[in-house]
Amino acid sequence: MRTRRNATTRGIQGAVALLVAGFVLVLAAPHASACRCGPYAPPLTSTGVGTATQTAAIEVPVDGSAELLDNVGNPVTTWSDPAGAGTYAFDEATSTISFTPAPGFLGSPQPANVVGYRITDRWDFTDESTYTPTVTLPAPPAAPAQTSTGNQGANQTVALTVPVGGTASLLDGSGNPVTTLAVAGQGVYSIDPTSGVVTFSPLAGFAGDATPVAYRVTDAYEQQTDGTVTVHVLAAALEAVPAAPTTTTTTTTTITSTTAPNRVASGTLPTTGASTLPLLLGGALLLGVGAGLATLARRRLAE
């Protein structure tokens, strides 16, 4: 009798335990769906100045992967904001998103154009989130004083520094932007607004320091800075006056002898015909022989 009662008691206790366990499972069921069993992808942000490229690194699960998503959730490696904010790119090797802002863009992309990213773990569980870059205003453009030197009559050029997406212009006397400016008595200035190259064409005969002219540089964010351009024109060298031609007069003096007609001015006897030296020697020899014979004849007469 006692054994049967104990068995009945244990059966009731088991049934109660099952009921309690079932009740706990029912209460826990709504919270079980909130359990996160995969990777977590937090929202990513970055901030940069002007057109500087910004980056954001994705934390990828071990043995997992990551990918960039466009504004509607499609996987992409590059993507351009349809509103013109800039261009996105994804480096799969480093799992890094880069954003290059368009010149003139400030702030953050429109909510409808925010890109996203997705990470996947080794068990193919995934999670997605967003990447939002922010662009701040850069410093105003620089416009230092510029100078140039050139020869008289020759054009001179000065290259101004124009920021990306910006322009440059000359300023007239009233401060109005112009592309061509004439300065009375000096010359004409012109400028290429995109490249910033200023050309000065001097008037014929002008030399010296020209009157400084003003210029303005405007960046893609409508920030402006003014500067000046000053040119110096070197005077042309004076041509050398040719010297008067030199005339050389040669005077020839003729000396006429008043003595012997055959004697020259130097006092030497002129040579006419054959040499007289052999005749003189022959005559002297004959005189000697003659004198010897005469002496011998006188001796014989004396004997």
What pTM value is reported for the model? 0.63
pLDDT higher than 90, residue 248: no
- The mean pLDDT of the chain is 82
Q: Lowest-confidence range among 37-41, 59-63, 171-175, 196-200? A: 37-41
- The whole-number pLDDT of residue 73 equals 97
- The whole-number pLDDT of residue 286 equals 61
pLDDT higher than 60, residue 187: yes
> What percent of the chain is modeled with pLDDT above 70?
66
Q: Of residues 33 and 282, which shows the higher confidence score?
A: 282
- The whole-number pLDDT of residue 275 equals 53
Mean pLDDT of 278-299: 61
Domains and CATH numbers, the chain: 44-136 (2.60.40.10), 146-234 (2.60.40.10)
pLDDT higher than 80, residue 303: no
- The whole-number pLDDT of residue 269 equals 41
Q: Lowest-confidence range among 57-66, 225-234, 291-300? A: 291-300
- The whole-number pLDDT of residue 237 equals 76
pLDDT higher than 90, residue 209: yes
Distance of CA 107 to the CA centre of its chain: 32
Instruction: Annotate 180-210 with three-state secondary structure.
Output: EEEECCCEEEEECCCCCEEEEEECCCCCEEC
DSSP state of 224: E
- The whole-number pLDDT of residue 236 equals 87
Count CB neighbours of 225 within 10 A.
16
Q: Do 185 and 206 contact (CB within 8 A), yes or no?
A: yes
Q: Which residue has the tokens 């100078």?
A: 147
Rounded to whole angstroms, the Cα distance separating 77 from 121 reads 20
**Cα 274–Cα 279–Cα 283 angle in degrees, nearest 5:** 170
